[in-house]
Amino acid sequence: MNMSACLKNFSFLLGGILFLTGLTGWVAADQNKQKIYVIPVEGTVEPGMAAYIKRAVEEVKNEPDALLLFKMDTFGGRVDAAFEIVASISSVPKGKSIAFVEKKAISAGALIALASSTLVMKENTLIGDCAPIIQSKEGQKEAGEKTQTVLRAQFRSLAKKNNYPEVLAESMVSKNMEVYRITIAGKVQYMDKHSYDDLTEDQKKQVTQKKTIVAAGELLTMDDQEAFDLGFSKQSVGDLDQALAFLGYEKYELIFLGETWSENLVRMLQPFLPVLMLLGIGALYTEIKAPGFGLPGIVGIICLGLVFFNQYLVGLAGYTEFLLFLIGFLLLGVEVFVLPGFGVAGISALVVIAGGLVLSFQGFVIPDPSLPWEGRLLLRNLGVVLGSFMGSLLISLALVRFVLPRLSKLVKGPYLSATLEDSHADSDEILGVSPGEVGVALTPFRPSGKIKIGSKKIDAIAQGEFIPSGTPIRVVSVEQNRIIVKQDVDNKRIQ
C-alpha cells in the first residue's frame, strides 16, 4: 500500500472518530438540559383547576431533577380549591417549584404563588389582596375573623417555609393590620402595630428608621418592583426566558403540561352545572308523571349523569355519591314501572338524588368547624340543588299546561279534524220524544221539573210559566237535549 492510500485511509478514520465524538458530545449536551415543566394557573380558581394541577404535579414531581414552573394569571376564586392547589404544590420537593407571575396573582392566586419555593414576576404585574369575600343579602362583603384567621395561618406557614416576610404575607388577608418597616440595631425588620407597641422603651430607642408599609384599612397589593423590594420576588424580568436565565438555567427544555380532554370538558361544564341539574330534575319529574319510560327519562339521566361525571373528574364525587345516585335511579324505576303515579318511591328517589347532588359539589360530608367556608359552601350547595328542584317543578308544570297543548299545532299530523263542537242530539234520536206529544208533570216546574210521557220519565223545562205537579203538559220543542213543555190546554192526559 502506497503512502497516499495510507494517508487517505487515516483521514477517513480520523474523520469518523471526530464525528462520533461530536455526536456523543451533542447527545450528552442534550441530556444535560434541565427539564422544566410549565403548568399554567390561568382563569378562575375552582375545583376543575385544582384537579388539573394535582394530576400534573403527581405526574412529574418524583422525576429526578424535574423543575415545575407555575405560570400565574388569575384573579383568584374558591378558597377550598386554592387550598387543594397549595397542598399539591407543597408536595413538590424543596427548591423544585417556581411561581412566575406573567400577568397577575390576585386573591387566591397570591396564596398559590407563595406556595412555590421561588417567586419571579414579570414587569408591570401584580400580586396580593387576598381578603376572603362572601355573598350576603346586602351583596358581597368581607368574611369574618374566623375565615381570616385560617387564611392568615396558611399565608404565615407558606412564608415561613419559603422565606417570605411573614407579617407582610398576613397583611394580604386582613385590613385591620398595620405593618411597619423598621431599622433596629442596624437590621431591617417588618413588624405589625401590635408587635411594635409591645417593644420596650429601650428597644424603641434603638429604632433608627420607621416606615409604614401597609396602612390600617388597606390590603397589601404589590407590583413587581414593590414585591422585589419587600423580599417576595427574586427579580423583575421581561419574559420567562429572562426569569430562567436569572435563576441560572441556561440550557433547558420547556415541557408544557396542558389539560386533558376530560379536564377541558370539566372546565367547560362547570358554569353550566346548575342548568344541567335544572333540566335533569325537570325531565325526571316529567317522566314520573307520564306513563311508561321515554325521552324525558333519557334526557334526565344524561343531564344528571354529566353533573356526576364532572364532579367525579374533579375529585368531589366518589363511591358514596355514586351509590346515592344508583339508589335514586332504582327507586325511580320502581315508581315508573312497578308503582305508576307519584308516591313514596318517587319522592324518595328525588330526595336521594338531591342528597347525592349536594355531596357531589363538596369534598366533605359534615363541615369542619375550623374551616368556616365549608359551612357556607354546604348552604350554597343546598340552595343550588333545592332551587333547581323548585325551578324544574315550575318549568315542568308550565310545559304540561301551556307548551304541550300547543305542540300539536306545530307538528304535522295526521290528526282527526272533526270535532263535536256543533253536534246536538234531538229527542227523536236520543230522548225518544217529539214535539206535540203529551204527558203529565211529575213535579212542580220552577221552571224545570220532570215529566212522564208513556212509561218514560224525562227532565224538561216549562215555557215561561209555573206548572203544578199533576198538570197535563204538551211538548213544544226539543232544543239540544232540552225538552220545552207547556200546559196542555186541550186537557189531554196520557196515563
Residue 400 domain-assigned (yes or no): yes
How many domains does the structure of the chain reveal?
3
* CATH number of residue 56's parent domain: 3.90.226.10
For 403, the 3-state DSSP assignment is: helix
Residue 462: which region, alpha, beta or left (left: phi > 0; alpha: psi -120 to 50)? beta
Residue 170 domain-assigned (yes or no): no
Whether 124 and 31 map to the same domain: the answer is yes
Task: Judge whether 469 and 441 are in contact, CB under 8 Å.
Answer: yes
Residue 415 domain-assigned (yes or no): no
Whether 250 and 284 map to the same domain: the answer is no
The three cell numbers of residue 192 are 405589625
Residue 419 domain-assigned (yes or no): no
Whether 43 and 113 map to the same domain: the answer is yes
Whether 131 and 228 map to the same domain: the answer is yes
| Concatenated DSSP letters of 245-294 | HHTT--SEEEEE----HHHHHHHHHGGGHHHHHHHHHHHHHHHHHSSS--
Residue 418 domain-assigned (yes or no): no
List the pLDDT tens digit at each of the 495 positions of the chain. Answer: 454 554 455 455 555 554 444 444 433 444 578 899 999 999 999 888 988 999 999 989 888 888 999 999 999 988 888 999 999 999 999 889 999 999 999 999 999 999 999 999 999 999 999 888 776 666 677 777 778 888 999 999 999 999 999 999 999 998 888 999 999 888 889 999 998 999 888 888 888 899 999 998 899 999 999 999 999 999 999 999 999 999 999 889 999 998 887 777 777 887 788 888 888 877 877 776 665 567 777 888 888 888 888 877 776 677 788 888 888 878 877 776 776 555 677 788 888 888 888 887 877 777 777 777 677 778 888 888 888 878 877 877 776 666 656 655 555 555 555 555 555 544 444 567 888 888 898 888 877 888 888 888 888 888 877 788 888 988 888 876 788 888 887 655 443
Domain of residue 396: give its range: 268-408
Whether 350 and 432 map to the same domain: the answer is no
Beta-bridge partners for 188? 183
Residue 339 domain-assigned (yes or no): yes
**What's the predicted TM-score (pTM) here?**
0.65
Whether 432 and 344 map to the same domain: the answer is no
For 340, the 3-state DSSP assignment is: coil
For 114, the 3-state DSSP assignment is: helix
Residue 194 domain-assigned (yes or no): no
Quickly tell me which residue has 370539566 as its cell: 266
* CATH number of residue 435's parent domain: 2.40.50.140
The letter for the amino acid at 277 is M
Residue 178 domain-assigned (yes or no): no
